[in-house]
């Protein structure tokens, strides 16, 4: 093995080193992330919101759903830091709980986007052919509709049935599914375009010539190189998912009372 490597031309040795080093490129996408200021700011904003949603109830223990009819529409005070609503419920506690619900929805939406969109984009970009045509056409069809309008249509159509059969959990899953339905095509297109470019690189050609299988090439050499754009896209998309979830709740199609949500709080304000 040593002799065959030593007899390899310098260009072949270079390609071999590149193909071997690419397997360890996954940690490097954090460096690429740090060069995108907008993504860094968005990431830290998301981290701050997650910390507030996760540890807020530990610091601020007031119930978000228990009404206090003696404290209706109170202004901010030491007991109620942001005041109370028209039923005497603590506004800050409901805001923290609503933020937690919104972030849970956003997390599962992005998880579905990565699982579905990134996977289809990777497969379509690498294999091309009929699979690429099908994925691209489905994405084009979904892009033809305004995303939020399509999510509203899905939630309004299936909301009553899902809520009746599965209750609050079903409603949460419906909101997550409707928002993911309009979000995954963008992820698929981004990953597909990056895959089309990366699969023509020399280190991929070298890996293929050394006998690497398609699955190994995609998972070891291509996926780490598109991980950066997946993370950046997911981070930036979380904000729009939170806003869209609030809009659905604002229209009565999202999280239902007594569970608080940011959109419902805006409606009642």
Output the domain CATH number for residue 151: 1.10.3720.10
Mean pLDDT for 68-89 is 86
Whether residue 6 is contained in a domain is answered as no
Whether residue 212 is contained in a domain is answered as yes
Whether residue 231 is contained in a domain is answered as yes
Mean pLDDT for 80-95 is 88
Question: Which span out of 11-15, 105-109, 133-137 was modeled with the highest average pLDDT?
Answer: 133-137
pLDDT at 162: 86
Whether residue 202 is contained in a domain is answered as yes
Q: Indicate left, alpha or beta for 256 from its phi (over 0: left) and psi (-120 to 50: alpha).
A: beta
Residue-number span of the structural domain to which 191 is assigned: 25-47+103-259
User: What pTM was computed for the model?
Assistant: 0.74
Whether residue 71 is contained in a domain is answered as no
Whether residue 174 is contained in a domain is answered as yes
For residues 168 and 1, the model is more confident at: 168
In the predicted model, what is the mean pLDDT of the chain? 82
pLDDT at 8: 46
Could you give the number of structural domains in the chain? 1
Residue 193: which pLDDT band, with cuts at 50, 70 and 90? very high
Whether residue 53 is contained in a domain is answered as no
pLDDT at 2: 45
Residue 27: which pLDDT band, with cuts at 50, 70 and 90? low
pLDDT at 196: 92
Work out the percent of the chain whose per-residue pLDDT is above 90: 20
Whether residue 13 is contained in a domain is answered as no
């Amino acid at each position: 093995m040593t002799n065959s490597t030593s007899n390899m031309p310098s260009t072949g040795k270079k390609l071999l080193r590149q193909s071997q080093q690419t397997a360890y490129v996954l940690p490097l996408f954090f460096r690429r992330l740090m060069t995108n200021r907008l993504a860094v700011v968005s990431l830290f904003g998301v981290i701050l919101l997650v910390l507030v949603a996760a540890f807020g109830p530990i610091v601020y223990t007031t119930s978000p759903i228990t009404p206090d009819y003696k404290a209706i529409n109170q202004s901010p005070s030491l007991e109620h830091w942001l005041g109370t609503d028209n039923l005497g419920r603590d506004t800050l506690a409901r805001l923290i709980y609503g933020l937690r619900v919104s972030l849970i929805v956003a997390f599962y939406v992005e998880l579905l986007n990565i699982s579905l969109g990134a996977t289809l984009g990777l497969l379509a970009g690498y294999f091309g052919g009929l699979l690429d045509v099908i994925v691209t056409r489905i994405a084009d069809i979904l892009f033809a509709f305004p995303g939020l309008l399509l999510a509203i249509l899905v939630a309004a159509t299936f909301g009553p049935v899902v809520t009746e059969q599965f209750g609050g959990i079903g409603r949460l899953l419906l909101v997550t599914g409707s928002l993911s339905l309009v979000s995954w095509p963008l992820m698929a297109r981004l990953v597909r375009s990056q895959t089309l470019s990366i699969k023509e690189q020399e280190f991929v050609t070298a890996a293929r010539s050394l006998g690497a299988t398609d699955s190994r090439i995609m998972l070891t050499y291509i996926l780490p190189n598109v991980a950066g754009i997946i993370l950046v896209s997911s981070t930036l998309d979380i904000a729009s998912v939170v806003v869209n979830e609030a809009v659905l709740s604002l229209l009565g199609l999202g999280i239902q009372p007594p569970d608080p949500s940011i959109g419902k709080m805006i409606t009642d304000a």
